[in-house]
């Protein structure tokens, strides 16, 4: 069964543009360099107005894996190393949480 590893980010609006740039130029290429990763989607989440008024935006990165074994290889080797540069650069200006999703089926028109 295909696996999706979802990393959700809450990003302070004061760093949002710089953070997006760093994610696209550095973080995503680092993720894609791991041979277990089959693809990466970078998505901005539409959040309620109240959250936007609190000064943050929400993003998610979804990584695709062909199997649990491939995901385990990534988690054991690269996950936190890839995010290290973001943490060093932006510190506590963003927060994350992670989920593993099972892709039951996909349907395309």
Say what the pLDDT of residue 42 is: 98
Distance CA 44, CA 35 (A): 25
Domain hosting 93: range is 3-102
Q: How confident is the model at residue 99 (pLDDT cuts 50, 70, 90)?
A: very high
Does residue 65 form part of some domain? yes
Does residue 108 form part of some domain? no
Flag the least confident range among 13-22, 57-66, 70-79, 96-105.
70-79
Higher pLDDT, 92 or 47: 92
Does residue 24 form part of some domain? yes
Quick check: helix, strand or coil at residue 47? coil
Does residue 43 form part of some domain? yes
CB-count exposure of residue 80 (10 Å: 0-12, 13-18, 19+): exposed
Query: In total, how many domains does the chain have?
Result: 1
Distance CA 5, CA 40 (A): 10
Distance CA 38, CA 73 (A): 13
pTM above 0.95, yes or no: no
Q: What is the CATH number of the domain that holds 79?
A: 3.30.70.100
Distance CA 56, CA 53 (A): 8
Does residue 107 form part of some domain? no
- Candidates 94, 72, 98, 74; CA nearest to 85 is 94
64-85 pLDDT per residue, tens: 999 999 999 898 767 778 888 8
Please state, for a pLDDT cut of 90, what percent of the chain lies above it.
70
């Amino acid at each position: 069964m295909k696996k999706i590893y979802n990393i959700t980010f809450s990003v302070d609006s004061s760093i949002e543009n710089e953070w997006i740039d760093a994610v696209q130029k550095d973080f995503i290429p680092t993720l894609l360099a791991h041979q277990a990763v089959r693809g990466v989607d970078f998505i901005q989440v539409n959040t309620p107005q109240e959250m936007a008024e609190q000064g943050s935006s929400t993003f998610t990165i979804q990584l695709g894996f062909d199997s649990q074994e491939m995901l385990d290889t990534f988690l054991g080797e690269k996950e936190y190393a890839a995010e290290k540069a973001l943490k060093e650069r932006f510190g506590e200006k963003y927060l994350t949480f992670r989920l593993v999703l099972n892709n039951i089926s996909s349907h395309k028109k």
